Chain A
Amino acid sequence: MKRTLFVLLLLVAGALAWSATELVVLTNGITGWLPQEDFRGFQGIREKLAVDFEKAHPGVKVTILYRDVKQGSLTADALMAAGTPPDLWMDAAGYFKKYMNADYALPLEKYVDLSKYHDYLLKPYAKDGHQWALPYANVLGGFAVNTTMLAEVGYKLPEDIAKWTTDEFLALGAKLKAKKLPLSMVMFKGGMNDWTFYFLRAFGAEMYDSAKKDYSRVTINSAKAVAGLDYLKKFMGLGYGYPNPVEQNADAGVELFTTGKVASCAMQDGHCAYWIPEQVKTGKLKSQFSVTFTEFPHSAAVAHVPGYGYQSIMVAHKNKDEAKNKLIGELAALFSGREHTWYNSGVACGFSCLKDYEPSIGWAATSMHTDLSKLAQNVGLLPVDDVGDKGEEVSRLWATVTEQWIRGKVTTKAMLADFEKKANAILSK
């Protein structure tokens, strides 16, 4: 009798498992909690939300897959190639250009109350009258400055940051050099990266004509870019940058800044908030130093150098089963709701995408977070380039030519002209 009952139970469980609807969420990075919080044994926020969702929808199973951030979009591309796209994919906006359309994505306005989100953060992901993605974290970046190191050479940032000019920056470089301290990071490993591009923005140069929102061609071959690159070369020539720029990338920038080896570097507050205490723990840094996030110094040609920002967003894959689409929509709303926003702000340094909710806990309560928020409000953010899936190819081209340029193999003007021609050929295809 017992055996029969056991077999029956097994069959029922098997049938239930077989009939359960599975929703697959692909997301990046790791998930976690604030150190001081206790969340009843859940591994992290996404796991907790998945269980909440399963409880509210019996028979639904939510599976969370994590993408290895070091491998780019490899996990996602492999899933796509296998014909098994995730039902919900959460990642940096740059990954989704080719997926935000009726061929792939679920139009979310049908399933989610969009009035809860900041309109300006929804807008970039709306097209043809449909909302193809929901933002769940607004990531801001700025220019991190070690004010403790500046104080050591008797320098204080101007109260009115608009007075912090590129000439003033060189003067600061001289002061720091006298004490054998490099002022900033110039990163050219694999070509000039976005963070080093600040040197060009300081002179008003832009990769695309963002004022006209024209991303169909690059416009970098300009007198402004020449001025920016000449300044960059002068800066390095005077010995104010960290040595060997071709060996430095963003990872090196974060490592050197957070170990107090360089006075400034562009980055996000999350990098400092996590790494500075970590460097103290591992003995790479004697004690924590003060950091402020500010505007990059500007030339006389421009009034301000905008910060940069991008959103982490989620795109839902449309399904033939309308009931499943409804579930996916609900899951998207949950994963971009208040609890997830709380986590993002407190642990991952993201800024809220919800209109009426701006947490001030964990890392969101630090002065760096507030600095960045002020920077975004006062100076504004550069619009996110929208060059579609050709952006990666154009970036690679830029990397190669700038690497040749920093090695002195091509002149500034020749490099810019060559790049613009080749990049526009890629974009026009």
Chain B
Amino acid sequence: MKPRAALLMILPALVLFAVTFIAPLLLVGRLSFYQSDYVHTAYVGFQNYIDAFRDTYFLKSFVNSSVMTIMLAPLITIVAYTVASAISDYSEKVQAAARFLFYVPGLTSGLIMGILWLWILDRSGLVNNFIVSFGGEPVPWLYDLWPARFSIVLVSTFSGMGGYIILYAVTMHAIPEELRDAAKVDGASGRQYKKLIQRPLMMPTILLALLLSIVGTMQLWESIYMLTAEGGPEGGTASPVYEIFLTAFKFGKAGYAAAKGIILMLVLIAILLIKNRVEGWLRK
């Protein structure tokens, strides 16, 4: 195919990408140099960026996300990997049904999930009723710092696990049959195959899943909005995206929110580069 024809064929996709991604990104980048409350707009240079680096709430939101990532990433990786690995031993039909079932929570709106989890985790909710019925004391799942962080992680794990299971299952499925057969011929047990063949081959996917969980934690919004009042307790569950939401829509600072958005994007790009570097090391 001639290069011109190829270009012509990908042109619609390129235009769509430019209109829906590049153009808004450029507009946000431009807005980040302005002080704007939707009515008045004034050029302020890098002031929004300087303010963002001094904003304790914004900086704390990265700490919150890091803490929650440390809690979330191993949990979601281990659970999703184990489930994907377990279902890979079954027939195609069973695998498809299991993948669908695990993916259902991810199809539900985050706000609806938030309402559901509020019903489960509130002081008079399902979990506490269960604890009380066994003579225990109700736990303030959403009102003390660490239980609240744990609750957000739990909700995120439950909502996001389906996607990770599919990711792992698809990658496992893509491992050539010949490798399994060769391992069998060499006398490897099922467990040895999974540990020595499957797991190293899955490492790039595990790293990708890890990256996605970091990005996902930074972008948490619905569960925080629904479960912990304005990123509480004491601002301990607010994510960077939640901070950006508050800045733009509660405090009415569109330019400042845009600067925070650009900073978040740069942080995520940096994490992506680190992930690629780690992946490179692992390949060597």
Contacts and interface: CB of A to CB of B under 8 A. Distances in A.
Interface of A: 72-74, 77, 80-81, 98-99, 101, 103-104, 189-191, 244, 246-247, 249, 389, 392-393, 396, 399-400, 403-404, 407
6 contacts: A98-B38, A190-B232, A244-B123, A246-B140, A400-B235, A403-B232
A404 B234 contact: yes
Nearest to A75: B249
A100 to B, nearest CB: 10
Contacts of A244: 123, 140, 143
B206 interface: no
A393 B248 CA distance: 12
Given A247-B123, A399-B230, A72 B38 contact: no
Nearest to A244: B123
Nearest to A422: B56
Contact of A98 (B37, B140, B235, B248): B37
Interface stretch (B15-23, B61-69, B77-85, B250-258): B250-258
A309 to B, nearest CB: 23
B251 A392 contact: yes
Interface of B: 37-40, 57, 123, 140, 142-143, 229-230, 232-235, 246, 248-252, 254
Given A80-B38, A99-B39, A389-B37, A246 B249 contact: no
Contacts of A101: 39
A29 B250 CA distance: 18
Contacts of B249: 72-74, 77
A77 B39 contact: no
A191 B228 CA distance: 12
Tell me what chain A mostly uses at the interface: helix, strand, loop, or mixed: helix
Given A190-B229, A400-B235, A247 B39 contact: no
Nearest to A190: B229
B229 A249 contact: yes
A99 B40 CA distance: 10
A190 B230 contact: yes
A101 B40 CA distance: 11
B230 A247 contact: no
Given A190-B232, A403-B232, 4 more contacts: A74-B249, A98-B39, A244-B140, A396-B230
Contacts of A392: 250-252
Nearest to A391: B251
Contact of A247 (B37, B38, B143, B251): B143
A71 B57 CA distance: 21
Q: Which 8 A-B pairs have CB atoms at the shortest separation, nearest pair first?
A: A190-B229, A80-B38, A104-B39, A246-B143, A77-B249, A247-B143, A190-B230, A403-B234
B139 to A, nearest CB: 12
Contacts of B38: 77, 80-81, 98
A393 B39 contact: no
A81 B143 contact: no
B140 A247 contact: yes
Nearest to A95: B252
Contacts of A407: 233-234
A389 B251 contact: yes
Contacts of A73: 249-250, 252
Contacts of A247: 123, 140, 142-143
B104 to A, nearest CB: 26
B123 A103 contact: no
B143 A103 contact: no
Contacts of B246: 396
A103 B232 contact: no
Contacts of A189: 143, 229, 232
Contacts of B229: 189-190, 249
A272 B251 CA distance: 31
A399 B231 CA distance: 11
A407 B148 CA distance: 15
B35 to A, nearest CB: 11
A401 to B, nearest CB: 9
Contacts of B40: 98, 103
Contacts of B232: 189-191, 399, 403
Contact of B252 (A98, A190, A246, A403): A98
A390 to B, nearest CB: 8
Contacts of A399: 230, 232
Nearest to A103: B39
Nearest to A402: B234
Nearest to B233: A403
Nearest to A401: B234
Contacts of A74: 249
Contacts of B248: 77
A72 B230 CA distance: 13
Contacts of A103: 39-40
Of A189, A392, A400, most buried by chain B (CB within 10 Å of CB) is A400
A29 B37 CA distance: 24
B149 to A, nearest CB: 15
B144 to A, nearest CB: 8
B250 A72 contact: yes
Given A99-B39, A247-B123, A77 B252 contact: yes
B42 to A, nearest CB: 12
A77 B248 CA distance: 9
